[in-house]
Amino acid sequence: MKHLFSVVFFLITLAPMAMAEEDMVEVYVPARTLSTGEMIAEADLQILSVPARDLSSNAVVDLKSLVGMEVKRTLKEGTIIRKNAIAAPILVYKKELVTLTVETNQMRLTAQGQAMDDGAMGDVIRVMNLTSKKVISAVVSGKQSATVVVASEGAVP
């Protein structure tokens, strides 16, 4: 009987430690199931508290990193969003016509080009100038548009 009392006493004293509150983290999760190709809006998200230990380094937890992104893999309601499930939306598609812009303090030139690569905002893509047939690098600056970065004020490609 003496050993039974010791075991029970030992378990009772350990119980509060096992029930200690875990570190919780607030994350944004889908408020509804989001399908491939959908753009994530703030209204599509809700805050959920999860144990910090449940978050992997691949989890996207902040609002700014989610809003405006395109869903690459179906996101189920209430699940933690992983980096590989979302991507910046493609604004320029390969073989699509794009408006190329070259701008300096003194001038602004535009020309038509054909994209040689897909690209999201800020991506560097190759574009063929339709007039000269020369392939140049440009930065995606919007839907069907790219900006040629001028190395110095006097140099225009």
Which two three-digit tokens encode residue 55?
A: 């978050």
Give domain 90-148's CATH number out of 2.130.10.10, 1.10.530.10, 2.30.30.760, 3.40.50.10490. 2.30.30.760
Q: Where are the domains of the chain?
A: 22-87, 90-148
> Over the stretch 101-133, which tens digit does the pLDDT of each residue have?
998 888 999 999 999 999 999 999 999 998 889
How confident is the model over 9-28, as a mean pLDDT? 63
β pairing state of 145-148 and 97-103: parallel
CA 119/CA 116 separation, integer angstroms: 10
Q: What single letter denotes the amino acid at residue 27? A: V
Q: Which CATH topology does 22-87 take?
A: Type Iii Antifreeze Protein Isoform Hplc 12 (3.90.1210)
